[in-house]
Amino acid sequence: MPRQPKLPAEILHMICAASDYATLPQVSLVSRALHTIVEEYLWAEFKCEGTSSLIPFIRSIRGRPELSLLVKHVNIRLSGNAPSYENPARCPPIKVPESAVRLLVTATPAIDSQWASLIRAGDPGAFIALVISLLPNLITIRIHTRSMDDLDMLCHHFHLTCNSEHHAAQLAARSQKDSPQTLSPPVLSPWPTWAVGPDSSYAYQHLREVHIISNDRIPEVPFKGSPTHKGNFLGLFYLPSLEHITAPIDTGRWELDWGHPNPPKAVHIKSLDLTVVSEESLRPVLDATPSLEKLVWDWGPKFYDNFDSGQRKILWLIQVREGLLKVSHTLKHLEITASSQRWDPKNEEPEKFAWIAHDGDYAIFKALNNLETLQVPFVFLLGFFGDLDRRLSLDGLLPSELEHLIINDCLINILYPAYRGWHYEDFIEILRSYLSNWASITPRIRSLRLRFNIQDTSWVPQSILDLATDAGIDFQVEYRRDIVMEKKTISYMTSKYEYGEGQFRQFRNFNV
């Protein structure tokens, strides 16, 4: 066999990057240098959509611990494609086989006994926590679950890991008052003691992205002060290197409880994708992320009874404005949606929607001087039923530096029949007024999108298109599918992943 020439490491990396994943094992046989580099590519990403890949993965990690240092991205799927509320039988929870549990527990002899008992009992959150503890160099974690209830112990793990000193003090104080039988949750080690030593946060020093995606219609929220922080990933904000979070973090209608005496100052977080977050919780979250550049917020409507006025105010614009002002100097991209999948109008009386009201001024985006992209439901700009006569113009509502504007009709189905008085002709007149005076409202505007739940896009007259063309604005009318949130979940119509920011390639199945 002819001797292989010595090539620079950069050239070898280019060869591996250009090779197909299926051919990488053959490429590794060419030379020892290529074998070492190919191994890095083969182990960089681990995708677990079932249980078939778990056992060989754990066995390989157990046999060669140095391979755990090569894994950078993990995608663990605990459910099927279809949302659980559509057809629970189509997406049953994935059960970890007993053989994988035994292999994992025996591979970590120093594991806390209570964590081991939870894993043997089939708790998926505890199992995931132990799996990722095997991988100290993780950059991205993506978990798709059928229900947030499956991840209770994972939330608890993140909370304890990032607040270990405060948690120890809390347990010491509680142990003097309560008997061991009344302690809840159990005293659990935040991290396996064998993994990284006493400083448990060291294992997450490279973590940049965490994506927690749930099929729940409305995830369960904990009571104030819940020690388990059920369905709550607030502990992630204390990680020193994290840049992006996609997770439900709301704590219900109570004030946000960080579970720590000092709220975080997560200056490293640049992007947030929040699910089911109320206006009350938005402000402290944005106050903790002063360097935030991108915010994707799926607002969940919540009704508050006001017996004095006889109204139910569900949109607290004052709190939204105060929260956005916390990041007004850095925020460049803002998306607000109100998914109808998170509120079922079938369970509500039509009379309830007749008293919909708001609290505050609609000019909540005007002060965002650096905002370049804005997606917003039109009710955040123009009001609810009964407010339409008040304003038929966007003048004074939009930031002057705005370049891309996307208006959607989220809530239109939820709030029907409260919108009996809403006519799309009124919205056309608003568009006509805006396109006639765009230079004085948003002089830097480049594109305008309408994302409405109307398949026939011909409802927009040609005169509006002509006005946009004359103004040099890229104007498009798009159909907003009202089946699943395309950005929050995996569409079971296409069964295709949408990965954020394009920062990592699509996960591949792991093969030993």
Tell me: the pLDDT tens digits for 15-27?
Answer: 666 666 556 665 6
- What pTM was estimated for this model as a whole? 0.76
Single out the residue of 248, 246, 214 nearest to residue 484, CA to CA. Answer: 214
C-alpha closest to that of 436 among 467, 461, 404, 474? 467
Question: Which has more pLDDT, 228 or 231?
Answer: 231
From the list 154, 20, 24, the residue with the least C-alpha distance to 76 is 154
Distance set, CA 435 to CA 237, 375, 408, 447 (Å): 41, 17, 17, 11
Q: Region 109-135: what's the mean pLDDT?
A: 76
Q: Which residue stretches of 86-233 are H helix?
A: 98-107, 113-120, 124-133, 152-162, 164-175, 193-196
Distance of CA 206 to the CA centre of its chain: 19
Tokens of 157: 């793990």
Q: How confident is the model at residue 299 (pLDDT cuts 50, 70, 90)?
A: confident
| pLDDT tens-digit readout, 128-155 | 887 888 888 899 999 888 777 777 778 7
Does the pLDDT of residue 7 top 90, yes or no? no
Report whether pLDDT(450) > 70: yes
pLDDT at residue 327 in the model:
94
pLDDT level of residue 403 (50, 70, 90 thresholds):
very high
**Residue scoring higher pLDDT (455 or 320):** 320
* Residue 426 banded pLDDT, cuts 50, 70, 90: confident
pLDDT bucket at 510, cuts 50 / 70 / 90: very low
Mean pLDDT of 33-41: 70
Sheet holding 305-306, edge to edge: 305-306, 311-316, 356-359
Q: Mean pLDDT of all residues in the chain?
A: 69
Quote the pLDDT of residue 234: 82
Looking at residue 253, its amino acid is R
Q: Are 379 and 336 in contact (CB under 8 A)?
A: no
pLDDT classification of 412: cutoffs 50, 70, 90: low
Q: Which DSSP symbol is given to 267? A: T
What does each C-alpha distance from 110 to 64, 131, 266, 280, 294 come to in angstroms?
18, 14, 32, 42, 41
User: In the prediction, which pLDDT does 286 show?
Assistant: 92
- Name residue, tokens 């007149």: 429
pLDDT at 374 over 60: yes
Highest mean pLDDT among 290-304, 434-448, 496-510: 434-448
Percent over 90 (pLDDT), the chain? 17
Distance between CA 24 and CA 17 in Å, rounded? 9
Residues β-bridged to residue 245: 210, 272
Range with top average pLDDT, 165-174, 202-211, 238-247, 503-512: 238-247
Q: Which residues contact 505 (CB under 8 A, 6 or more apart)?
A: 45
User: Which tens digits make up the pLDDT trace of 318-343?
Assistant: 888 888 999 999 999 999 987 644 44
Over 351-415, what HEC string results? HHHHHEEEECCCCCCCCCCCCCEEEEECHHHHCCCCCCCCCCCCCCCCCCCCCEEEEECCCCCCC
Tokens describing residue 378: 């039109």
Tokens at residue 363, please?
């000019």
